[in-house]
Chain A
């Protein structure tokens, strides 16, 4: 591991428990002046350069940009998988206006956030290959030590919601890419997170499957879920409520979306 990463970890361990701040209860997440740099050899790369963002309850936001624009770094920072140099990432943790800043949290609190408050979806699905669809969805609840009966009820309900009820005993190797991604969506939802963070969720999928995945996202949005998706696919981004452009680590534009997925691919 590089010296830079070691430093980050030590800083992380020194952090005290985050102090709560009051925020608008209708806001899920506020990001202020987020900066993240990486040092490679003698050069420093600014992956995120003073990014500001507010996401309201039930909003679906797409961040678009080419490779290297900072999209994945943004998801990793918001998902407590990587730690910014400076700025604030305040989550409305009780959904009633109690704001906690990820930057001030302890390792234990970060873990709780990742397990219970944030639903992460990745491009390469990241399913555990030796477990069935059912067990993969159940996994975050097993780790969070939830009751068996509650687990069964919830996993079955979610698999039904994403249309994979009949395939719950199947392994990832027995499923198509689109089916695997649907399993990861169910897995991301299982602990009822505040927000879904999706990193190129359709990056590995064909047009038809991409359309189906976007339809699931829109259904989730209509059911009240808040979603932040990063993608390089500007066409599918049009279905989101707002589309933000990320260029060289900076937000450089914003426009309204709300197009129907069938209009996009007709």
Chain B
């Protein structure tokens, strides 16, 4: 049922023979992205069915849709966390299917900052140590690490709690640590999968406000998945998904 990673990668490369028309402004571009999961012999699920999107530098875009519409699958493809069955993903005009394992790891560590619904902090490490992790793995110097970890913990308003463990922080605070962790390598793109899914409305709005500030002040490109319409409309542009397809694009003028 499960193919090896190597084989999957080769497939993507072979199917991506034609040159796609690239938009010079685009930070993220996907072309006819398809993802098929084989559940059991003979039963297939088309999680993505030909998704083509363009996201420019500095844009804040939300993806909305019911569960099972393919939102998270789309993020996993763009975040280089999984490989498409067909189609292509271009990050900064580079096809990520053409990258080797090392280049993809580098892309995930340096170019893309990922934020998840369940925060995914390491429970035995303090806020500071959680934020420095991607910088350690990216091989940054001690000085760079110290400067950026302090800078981004300050930006998310948690510098005074930097020595606290995740279990000593509220859900909203843990998500702020996760945002600082996603930002510490100064990525071109921030990808958030249901970042407010586990938070109450007030805390959720504070997280969205923080993302909005990052977008406006640092010109950070943000792609966010949510099933909450209130949260979704706070982005500049909202893509509505259903059954693995984009069915509507809404400009919110925010």
Contact = CB atoms under 8 A, between A and B. Distances in A.
Contacts of B136: 142-143
Interface stretch (A29-37, A89-97, A130-138): A130-138
Interface residues of B, number: 34
Interface string A158-186: 00000000100111011000000000000
B123 A142 contact: no
Contacts of B122: 126, 128, 139
B31 interface: no
A21 interface: no
A131 B116 CA distance: 14
Interface in A1-33: 1, 5, 9
Interface string B118-138: 101111111001000110110
Contact of A174 (B5, B161, B165, B167): B5
Contacts of B239: none
A171 B119 CA distance: 17
Given A5-B168, A76-B167, A81-B167, A173 B124 contact: no
Interface string A216-227: 000000000000
A76 B123 CA distance: 10
B38 to A, nearest CB: 14
Interface stretch (B86-94, B101-109, B202-210): B101-109
Contacts of A139: 122, 133
B145 interface: no
A64 to B, nearest CB: 22
Interface of A: 1, 5, 9, 76, 79, 81-82, 107, 111, 114-115, 120, 122, 124, 126-132, 135, 139-140, 142-143, 166, 169-171, 173-174
15 contacts: A1-B169, A9-B164, A76-B167, A81-B124, A124-B118, A126-B120, A126-B121, A127-B120, A129-B81, A130-B114, A139-B133, A143-B125, A143-B129, A170-B5, A174-B82
